[in-house]
Structure 1
């Protein structure tokens, strides 16, 4: 009996020792964007370990040119907060209606840490940094389109989509409702089919990049991405904690699906926070179409 109690006590103590690690495993600070918290307060002239990650983030999401006079390896290791980085942060702050300080202040770091879409914020205009470090990014205050304003052809309004939901069977209903949301405010109709080879739009869940070119990065980073019209590709990040509706610490499938379908139809990101085409979504939140989204889709197909 004494041996049994001792064994049970050992298991209990081991479980207690594991609790901090289990807690850390689900901490937002361990998300792919968690490093921003440690870099908060950084400003031009600083040299701080990890600043190169901020530069990569801004390059990835459309605020900073990836062209640089240094080699790629040097850029990867460059932790100097220079003029170009300050200018790119100002562009990001302007887009999100923050005070354009050029400093990685608390509001900016918090926003950059948020789960978001993998499509750049302003795909119609790339941020070109000139020799003086000034940004030429022309930030809009509402919906935008992809470069060249790609659209589905006038005679192609009934779009077929396939869905490989993998281990997320609940996605079928969420995706169908998301398509229905856009159908209600546009001239499009949508139909799910089982054969992806004839589908106009192919939807699936993918996991983080293991050398296959997929731009996912694990839970809490990029949630999904989609290609512009006629390319018809839409991927969810399979590593995220997905849910139906507003569930704490989870991402709503229908909200993200509605956002990505907007890209499939030709909309870029909106800087209007209430819009479905706003780049980020909070855990435990849901969102539907905003007038900005409706104006955008109608402007694209009637203009």
Structure 2
């Protein structure tokens, strides 16, 4: 008997958390049996309470869906705004699970393996990395680096006015223990591994580099320039950006260490988000496009930015995978 599992995938909710409930309704109508919430569902608001309320709207909708759901942070979630809210809704809804508690799910013909966090945190506090000197865990950032969290040190830093927030570090090398069969594994991480070809890649990024080396999304820079200068050409955008000491670039920005790790462990199937400009892209390891609905043994898929109405369904049948890109605009008319 053919076994088939359909996962609805949601990530990158930066504008209005209320869209998640509508999205889940659409995904369920399209046959989603389970949900994966793959990061960037905790946009920083003016206050901690407002930030927690933002996450709460999303997780309440996920819990009410009744679908088995796996939730993890991405680049934007802070620990204070995300973790307590997740713990609250875990207690309220038995179908809602944290990937910190469940890093691997064995579904017989396939294994879901989760890596929570991001290598590029945008105000968030969940970071992934491969530093062998930093085991996975909770840390306090100080001037000298990271120190393992303890309440006394936390209080001391607060008293001295030196508290810089918290950091949860997820060492990706933990996957070497978690993954037992690379061929069966579907890796789920907010960020993708790095690829070599830019056109059509899930890790293609458009960004601006400031004089100090910091990075701003390219679409943000374009929006600011056109708001100030009007409907200028792409060339004029580049010239104006350069005059403001900003260099616009398009590059593959996936994680190189994750690429090496997937190759070492034999992982050929992965779901990501993060790069908004690459939403709904899907391909193999050579960035050769994979068409929707085609069962394959090798798939790298960016499920899209929900702010743009992008979501989707990952289908697994006897260990092989396919995907369906879903544009909410087509269903909310």
TM-score, normalization: structure 2? 0.24
Q: Which one has a bigger Cα radius of gyration?
A: 1
TM-score, normalization: structure 1? 0.25
More helix by share: 1
More strand by share: 2
Q: Relative contact order (C-alpha < 8 Å, sep 6+): which is higher? A: 2
